[in-house]
Every structure is written in structure tokens, then in C-alpha cells.
Amino acid sequence: MSRTLTFEIFRYNPMDPDSKPHMQTYELDEYDSMTLFIALNRIREEQDPTLQFDFCCRAGICGACAMVINGRPGLACTTQTVKLPKKITLHPLPVFKLIGDLSVDTGTWFQNVNEKIESWIHTQKEFDPKAIEERMENALANEIFELDRCIQCGCCIAACGTARMREDFLGAYSINRLARFYIDPRDERSDQEFYDIIGSDQGVFGCLGLLGCEDVCPKEIPLIDQLGMMRRKMALRSLRQGKCS
Amino acid sequence: MEIIYTDVLCIGAGLAGERVAIEAASAGFETICLSIVPPRRSHSAAAQGGMQASLGNSVMGEGDNSDVHFEDTVKGSDWGADQEVARIFADTAPIVMRELAHWGVPWNRVEAGKDFYFKGGKKFEKEEKKEKHGLITARAFGGTAKWRTCYTADGTGHAVLYTVDNKATEMGVKMHDRTQAEILIHDGVNCYGAVARCLKTGKLRAYIAKATLIATGGYGRIYKATTNAVICDGGGQAICLDTGIIPMGNPEAVQFHPTGTVPTDILVTEGCRGDGGTLLDVNEYRFMPDYEPDKQELASRDVVSRRMTQHMNKGLGVKSPYGDHLWLDIRHLGEKHITTKLREVYDICTQFLGVNPITGLIPVRPTQHYSMGGIRTDKDGAVYGLKGLFAAGEAACWDMHGFNRLGGNSLAETVVAGKVIGEKVVEFLKGTEVKFSTSSIDDAVSKIQERIKNLENGKNGNENALDIRNAMQEIMMQDVGIFRNEKDLKDGVDKLLVLADRAKRIKLHSSVKGCNPEMTLALRVPGMLKLALCTAYGALMRTESRGAHTREDYPERNDRDWLNRTLAYCEEGKDLPVLKYEDPTPVYELPPGHRGYGEDLTIPADMSKLNIIKKPSN
Ligand SMILES: Cc1cc2nc3c(=O)[nH]c(=O)nc-3n(C[C@H](O)[C@H](O)[C@H](O)COP(=O)(O)OP(=O)(O)OC[C@H]3O[C@@H](n4cnc5c(N)ncnc54)[C@H](O)[C@@H]3O)c2cc1C
């Protein structure tokens, strides 16, 4: 039996002084293999051209379409409606600046954080176009790629108790990203330099251990392991520093 | 209105745009990238399989070098490529791959010792050499003589784009995301930047630049079934065509990928077949060896897509509510291989298709995938028609792909072209004094303001943008698909002309303060129609079959009459595009011949008239 789905969708247009945050209801007949990508586009095409949301790759790869789906952050394009109850409630991700309805500004947030944590390989070596590449163990390449798989969808930030309380918290995203550089021998940053970026309450010591981040990561990146690893390294460092000074 | 001045404006922040931006910023020039989405969500991130460079580290790539890569590329292009460009590309690709490694890409590496690989469902053993241990490895892709495709598991585009974006951030390139270029600023001779619309506020902003780059990717969304992202709507190509003086090169050259999944059209990578996956029909019979005994599933994409369609036309496809399809079988690769090296594929199958590829078959059929055609440039990336304007990546027709591009060659093109053309942009900036013309800024601004006003007021009529776009996408599928013929193409062109006329009368049916999503679409539709018309009309007039362009009524590759490149212009006041033709290449390092796969039905060229040269000795 095909179901009729009821969507409760958060509406608010910050560009319009008359707009007030409210929930709006839409109904839609469900069909085979329907995802929230298909459903939201149908609502916009058939019922309400003003509804704002973001999609790009629609294949779970680019991270554009994260939203809060029945209370839980996730990617809309990979969410099949059959796996949801008949009533589907959609909110924009918290923490990020709202653009309108379900659309939030993750771009600016991640750009700022990437600049802050200097998310790039730091090396003194010049690239030599004539030389062959430096060698690397394949297992290490895989390990780095594993942490590099993050798609900056923002789910981990939206699910994070600390990030919702303090604006300057760097979040699981940043810790994982730095862990990626930490294990990469091409990055010449010292422990001290990593410590200076995340060895504080803004970084690894701000986490309350609620584990929301890893639960919602659509790429199933072991965020808690990375946090633990970086925490241990950073704690050791602060211990050593304590002894020295 | 806000006006922003910069040295370089890169319209597009995928791999091509960012790689050019890095080159310009490294030379000390102020550089801004525009992008519809945050740069890391650009469609380059979706490329799974890998990128080609003849490093020759894997034992299966032994003996590879840029000559072999060059030959594969030109054969793949069915001799449509500019051979000077293909040469620059093949020679530079290995350097760029190593540079990416230096910047942080976690390329998969050679592991010395014995291990297994699959070819066409059978298991073989290979032994990787000790002295190559730890160097960048490669996998097999279609249409290549050697294993040449460098990869990071099946997230190559993602890993490379993130690394390049990191580098761009380090170099201080400014990213203006959610910003869509709507019109070029130019005076008929020079280009001075673009006017863009902010997708957060709906406001217009003028970007005045000494050099402008178009790197807006492909335009697959003129088709209904495409593997491309929803933002791949040809905005960059459209603003060039809009000038009337910039041509599209080979718009009729459209690639269909053999393994788009059914029904979502999401791609599963060629790596599946490269790693030994096979294609099966309704009887679970492996049919490709019957058509292509030598290359089998790994012939070039145009050939495999045609063979699949041919086979389905014989009634041997699998029937489904979404139309006929075939099966892709990777079960024999085993759980470990599938969940590590083909993990994205595993995710796509389980999440979108409800199929577990370790135990089940994947429903696939040929799906629009890549635009070989693009804004025509010379070998320095300079766009025909306007000075100070460059193009790179899938948006451009540089032209190393001719009528068919090889898997793995397009990601590689983005970064190779980015480096080469970036250097040319820097040369241009150093060598030229640019004087901005205020009247051309005013011109562009008032044109786009008027367009917006007309859409809001419905000055010209009451048409719905969405209906027109949907109708266009259907026409392209039906009349300008894999197999083409005069009747369908004529029909398609006629129907598109009617739509183009209706598109002049679009009216918005909603009103929103700030950024109205309906406006965003309405602004795109006329440009998409121009691209669709160039594609359909170019295909109608090209009475031969070459690469991906397949005419049922003209099955031969006709080197005698059609060894050329189409240049399509949209001139003011004319409904049909104006087509001109030019030689595909100034020199022939590799004279036209048989590709080594597909049928050979060539009407030969008069070789004495071609400028055939020996390989330039290095
Ligand atoms: C699913 C899939 C898998 C693929 N896999 C492979 C592979 O394995 N190997 C391979 O070699 N190739 C592959 N390709 C092809 C390859 O990924 C693309 O050709 C390549 O990434 C294009 O890069 P680009 O920089 O030219 O454009 P893109 O990465 O598409 O970037 C375009 C940029 O332009 C911006 N833009 C567009 N219009 C405007 C506008 N009007 N104003 C402002 N900005 C604009 C976008 O926001 C984006 O930033 C694949 C393609 C697809 C669709």
C-alpha cells in the first residue's frame, strides 16, 4: 500500500522582515525508491516554489543537503522515505547561520575553521617537478584517506552539545581534520604547533563526551577515536609542559 | 550595487578553477573564485575512479610513458583532439600527480609482492616490484593500453579537491560561494569580469577583473538522465554564448557513461569494470566479449555504451518500471575489495538501490555523463573572441578529448590545464595594462537587471520556467541521445526552437524577498536552451559518426569530409546557432587510423593534405 506522507517543514526567511519562524505542512504520495531529495523537489515543483533547501551531487558525496530529519541530523539525499514514519519533520541544521527554510551557510563556517586550524600540509620542502614522488606505505595512505573522507556536511557540529553552547568550539570536524594532518608525515608541524591549535577548551578539552557527533556521521568516520587520540597526545603534551615550567 | 575589483576572477571553484587560482595567487595576484556551492561541494568531488598519468609504477603499467598516454588519448578522441594539447597534457600529467602528492593527496601506493587481480571475471596473479614499493600506484580504466589511473580508493575527486582547496586556502585565494555569474562584462574586444547574483540575498554584485576564467564544469543537466550534479547547468558556457562572439567547440560531442544506475542515474565508477566487473544481460549472460573480443568491458565509453544499447534493442535488456537496463556484476571481486576499494559503490548500491553488490547485481544503463564540448579556447586556454578571458576544465573545449574522452582523463585535465593555463593567465597579467571600460560595466548591469525585472513582472508572457526546462530535458533524451538520426534530430531542433521562443516569455509565479529559488532557475533556462540547441543542431549537421557522436544514417567516420571541429555561435537575432568548422589540430603526430576497438568504418582522409609530423624529440 502506498502511503501519503505528511511533511512538517520549518519555514523562515531572514531576508523578509514580515517572515516569522513557523512550521508548514505538505502532503505527498510516496512511491518506490523515494528519497528526501525526490520528495523535497516534488514539493517545490508541484506545491511551493518558494521553499529553500540545498542539493548538489544528490549521491551522498558532497555534503550539501544535511538537515535535521525527525530530530536527527542527516543527509537528505541518502534518506529513503520508506525508512521513516508517515510524518516527517524537517528543520535546518542548528549552529550554522540560516539562509532560509532548510538552507544554512555551512560554507562560511567551514572556510573560517579551515583557516583557523590551517587545514593544509605544512612543509618547508619545495616541490621538485623533476624528482619522483616521496614514498609512502599504502597502509598509511589508506589511514589518511580514511580521515580525509569527511564531506563537511556539518552533521557532527549540529549534533554536538558543546558546539551548540559555545560558538568558538572547533568541533569533531576540526579535531578529525587535524588528526588527518597529524598522522601524515608530509606535515612537518610539531606537537606543540598542534597543541596551540586544539589543546584548549575550544578544541579537544571542550568535548563533553556526549558522542552525538560519531552517531550521526554519514561517512561513519570514527570521530571519537580521533578525539581520544588527539586528546591523549595533547594531554601528554600539557603534562610535559607542566613539568617543565 | 556592490562592485568588487580583483586581478583574477575564477568563475567556478572546482578542480580547474581552483588550480588556476593557486597559480595566479602564487604569483602574487589577488584572486577570487565564485561558486554556486561551497568549493568543496563542486562536482569534482563526485569523481570516484581516478586520474590518468603515465607514472608506470605498477607492474601492470610497466613500459608506460607519455607517448603511450598521448596515443590512447588521441585514439579515444577518434582523432577529434587537438594533438598539440593532448601532447602538453600527457607530458605534464605525471608532474602534476606528484605535485598533488606533495600537497597532501593520499594516493594509493604500490605494495611489493604477489597479489591478485580480475580481468573480465577471471582471476590473475601479478607481482609488484620491490623497487617500486611505496610509489603512486594505478588501476585499469577503459581505452588504455596500460594501468595508468592513479586513485585514492574510490574517492579520488574528493581527496584531490580537498587537497587543492586546502592549497588555495593556504595561498589566500578568496572564495565567494553561493554566487552565480549571470553575465560577462565586455566591450566586444576585452573581457572585464562578470556580474553575479548572490544566492544568499538575491542581490547583484559586479566583479571587475583584469583576467577572467570560466571553469564552471559540464552541462549534463540539459538531459533528463545524467550523472551530473543538479548544479551542472552550463551557466558559464551560457554567459559566453550570450556574447554572440564566443563559440562552443563540438557541442554535439556528449559522453554517455555505461554504468549510470537505475533509477537514480547516480554513477558507479568505471573502476568497477577496471577492477574486473562484467556486464550481464537479462539471461545473466556476459555479452561484451561477443562484440569486443579484445577490450571487452574495457573498450572506450562510447563503444561500450553503444554495444549496451544495441544489446538492449535486441530485447535482451532487463525490463523494469523505469525502462530497460542491464546488470553490472562485481560479486566475484569479493567483500574486502568491494568494501575498501569500491566503498562508494557499495554505499550507493545499498543506500539508493537497496542492492548489496557483494551478493547482488547492480542495475545499470548508459547515462549522460560528460560534455566534451565546451567554450572553445586555444592551447593557452584563451577563449576565442575576447581578450582577458580564459576557460579550463570540463567547461572548456581545450581540446584534448575530441569526440570521446577516456575515463580518468578529465580529472587529470582539470589540474593539468589548471597549471598550464594558470601560467598563461599570469603571463597575460604581467604583460598587459588593462583599462576598464565603465560603459561595458553599465551595459552588463542594466541587461541583467532588465532580465530580472521582466521575469518578475511577466512583461513578456506567463510561461513557467520549470515546464520549459522539463520539456527540454525530455527532448534531449529522445532526440539527441546515444543513437542519432536525421529525422529525430530535425524534430528535436524544431521542438527546441519552440521552447526557446516560449522561454522569452517566462514569468515567476512566486515572490520571495531575498533569493527566490524560482528566479535562480528562470535565469538559467534560456542559456540551457542555447546549449541544447547547439548540441542538437551540431549533431544534425554532422553527417558522420565519430566517437560518442553516432549517426544511424551515417555510420562511417568520415575523415574525408568531417575531420574538423564544430564551432557553434548564438548570434543576436538568429534563432538557429551559426555553425563554422575548423581543423581539429594544427599538426598530426598520430595520423588518423583505426582505434583498435569498435567497428572500423572509416572513409579515409587525403593524408597528403594533413600536416603530419614526427614526435617532437625531447
Ligand atoms: C559522477 C561522476 C564521476 C566522475 N568520475 C571521474 C573519474 O573517475 N575520473 C575522471 O577523470 N573524471 C571523472 N568525472 C569527470 C570529472 O569529475 C569532471 O569532468 C571534473 O571534475 C570537472 O571539473 P571542473 O573543475 O571542470 O568542474 P566542477 O568540479 O564541476 O566545478 C564547477 C564549478 O563551477 C561553479 N559554477 C558553475 N556554474 C557557475 C556559475 N554560473 N557561476 C559561478 N560558479 C559556477 C560550481 O559551483 C563549481 O564550483 C566524473 C564525473 C561525474 C559526474
Q: What gap in Å lies between CA A170 and CA B174, rounded to an integer?
A: 22
Give counts: helices (H), strands (E), chain A: 9, 7
Residues from chain B that touch A176, judged by Cβ atoms under 8 A, are none
Got the DSSP string for A58-100?
A: SSSSS-TTEEEETTEEEESTT-BGGGS-SEEEEE--SSSEEEE
Task: With CA atoms as reference, report the closest residue to B16 among B403, B421, B386.
Answer: B421
Ligand 1 centre from B180 Cα, in Å? 15
Q: What gap in Å lies between CA B534 and CA A34, rounded to an integer?
A: 34
pLDDT per residue as tens digits for the range B63-81: 999 999 999 999 999 999 9
- Residue B76: all three cell numbers together: 579515444
Q: What gap in Å lies between CA B43 and CA B18, rounded to an integer?
A: 13
- Residue B329: all three cell numbers together: 556484476
**Ligand 1 contacts CB of residue B415 (under 6 A):** no
Domain annotation for chain A: domains and CATH numbers: 4-104 (3.10.20.30), 117-240 (1.10.1060.10)
Question: Does B231 contact A56 at a Cβ distance shorter than 8 Å?
Answer: yes
Residue B366: other Cβ atoms inside 10 A: 25
The answer, yes or no, to whether residue B233 has pLDDT greater than 80, is yes
Q: Determine which of A108, A120, A135, A183 to mutate to test the interface with B (most B C-beta atoms within 10 Å).
A: A120
Q: What gap in Å lies between CA B40 and CA B166, rounded to an integer?
A: 10
Q: What gap in Å lies between CA A151 and CA B40, rounded to an integer?
A: 8
Residue A1: other Cβ atoms inside 10 A: 3
pLDDT per residue as tens digits for the range B176-213: 999 999 999 999 999 999 999 999 999 999 999 999 99
Distance from the A173 Cα atom to the nearest Cα atom in chain B, whole angstroms: 14
The answer, yes or no, to whether residue A243 has pLDDT greater than 60, is no
Question: What percent of chain B is predicted at pLDDT more than 70?
Answer: 99
What pTM, to 2 d.p., does this model score? 0.95
Distance from the A169 Cα atom to the nearest Cα atom in chain B, whole angstroms: 21
B514 → closest Cβ in A54, A80, A100: A100
Phi, psi of B255 (to 5 degrees): -95, 135
Between B321 and B499, name the one with better pLDDT.
Answer: B499
Task: With CA atoms as reference, report the closest residue to A134 among A145, A146, A122, A126.
Answer: A126
Question: Does B352 contact A33 at a Cβ distance shorter than 8 Å?
Answer: yes
The answer, yes or no, to whether residue A244 has pLDDT greater than 80, is no
Mean pLDDT across the stretch B12-33?
A: 98
Which residues touch A38 (CB under 8 Å, ≥6 apart)?
none
Name the residue in chain A with its Cα closest to that of B321. A32
Q: What gap in Å lies between CA A96 and CA B175, rounded to an integer?
A: 18
Grouping H, G, I as helix, E, B as strand and the rest as coil, residue A23 is strand
Q: What gap in Å lies between CA B374 and CA B419, rounded to an integer?
A: 19
Q: What gap in Å lies between CA A137 and CA A79, rounded to an integer?
A: 36
The answer, yes or no, to whether residue B403 has pLDDT greater than 90, is yes
Q: What gap in Å lies between CA B450 and CA B459, rounded to an integer?
A: 10
Residues from chain B that touch A123, judged by Cβ atoms under 8 A, are 102
Phi, psi of B4 (to 5 degrees): -120, 130
Q: What gap in Å lies between CA B48 and CA A149, rounded to an integer?
A: 12
**Ligand 1 contacts CB of residue B603 (under 6 A):** no
Distance from the B259 Cα atom to the nearest Cα atom in chain A, whole angstroms: 15
**Ligand 1 contacts CB of residue B235 (under 6 A):** yes
What per-residue confidence (pLDDT) applies to A242? 57
Task: With CA atoms as reference, report the closest residue to A117 among A92, A94, A150, A145.
Answer: A150
Point out which residues pair with B567 in neighbouring strands: B249, B580
Interface predicted TM-score (ipTM): 0.96
Establish if A142 touches chain B: CB-CB under 8 angstroms. yes
Mean pLDDT across the stretch A77-82?
A: 93
Task: With CA atoms as reference, report the closest residue to B172 among A207, A223, A118.
Answer: A118
- Residue A224: all three cell numbers together: 571519537
Mean pLDDT check: name the lowest of A42-56, A225-239, B21-35, B283-297. Answer: A225-239
Q: E strands, B462-594, where? A: 483-484, 550-551, 557-558, 565-569, 578-582
What per-residue confidence (pLDDT) applies to B617? 54
| CB of B204 closer than 8 Å to CB of B448 | yes
Mean pLDDT across the stretch B95-120?
A: 95
Q: What gap in Å lies between CA B188 and CA A20, rounded to an integer?
A: 47
Pair type for strands B326-329 and B278-280: antiparallel
Mean pLDDT across the stretch B530-549?
A: 97
Work out how many CB contacts closer than 8 A connect A with B: 192
The answer, yes or no, to whether residue A229 has pLDDT greater than 90, is no
What per-residue confidence (pLDDT) applies to A240? 67
Ligand 1 centre from B13 Cα, in Å? 9
CB-based burial of residue B188 (10 Å sphere; 0-12 exposed, 13-18 middle, 19+ buried)?
exposed
* DSSP class of A3: P
Which residues touch B426 (CB under 8 Å, ≥6 apart)?
B23, B24, B27, B29
- Residues 196-215 on A with a CB inside 8 Å of B are none
B230 → closest Cβ in A33, A55, A61: A55
Average pLDDT score, chain A: 92
* DSSP class of A183: T
For residue A21, what pLDDT band results from cuts at 50, 70 and 90?
very high
pLDDT per residue as tens digits for the range B445-468: 999 999 999 999 988 899 999 999
Active site residue B273: yes
Distance from the A232 Cα atom to the nearest Cα atom in chain B, whole angstroms: 25
The answer, yes or no, to whether residue B133 has pLDDT greater than 70, is yes
Grouping H, G, I as helix, E, B as strand and the rest as coil, residue A144 is helix
Residue B606: other Cβ atoms inside 10 A: 9
Average pLDDT score, chain B: 95
Task: With CA atoms as reference, report the closest residue to B270 among B64, B52, B16, B15.
Answer: B52
- Residue A127: all three cell numbers together: 616541490
Q: What gap in Å lies between CA A201 and CA A119, rounded to an integer?
A: 19
Q: E strands, B23-134, where? A: 31-35, 51-52, 113-119, 122-128
**Ligand 1 contacts CB of residue B50 (under 6 A):** yes
Name the residue in chain A with its Cα closest to that of B93. A129
* DSSP class of B247: P
What per-residue confidence (pLDDT) applies to A241? 65
What per-residue confidence (pLDDT) applies to A245? 37
B40 → closest Cβ in A15, A49, A152: A152
Mean pLDDT across the stretch B345-361?
A: 92
| CB of B70 closer than 8 Å to CB of B53 | no
**Ligand 1 contacts CB of residue B274 (under 6 A):** no
**Ligand 1 contacts CB of residue B242 (under 6 A):** no
Which residues touch B223 (CB under 8 Å, ≥6 apart)?
B254, B368, B473, B476, B477
Q: What gap in Å lies between CA B564 and CA B580, rounded to an integer?
A: 10
Q: E strands, B468-609, where? A: 483-484, 550-551, 557-558, 565-569, 578-582, 602-603
- Provide the CB-side half-sphere exposure for B25 (13 A, CA): 23
Establish if A33 touches chain B: CB-CB under 8 angstroms. yes
Q: What gap in Å lies between CA B422 and CA B457, rounded to an integer?
A: 42
Task: With CA atoms as reference, report the closest residue to B416 among B20, B12, B9.
Answer: B20
Question: What percent of chain B is predicted at pLDDT more than 90?
Answer: 87
CB-based burial of residue B433 (10 Å sphere; 0-12 exposed, 13-18 middle, 19+ buried)?
exposed
Q: What gap in Å lies between CA A43 and CA B266, rounded to an integer?
A: 22
Cα maximum dimension of chain B: 72
Pocket test for ligand 1, best of B4, B42, B197, B405 (most atoms within 8 A of CB): B42
CB-based burial of residue B480 (10 Å sphere; 0-12 exposed, 13-18 middle, 19+ buried)?
buried
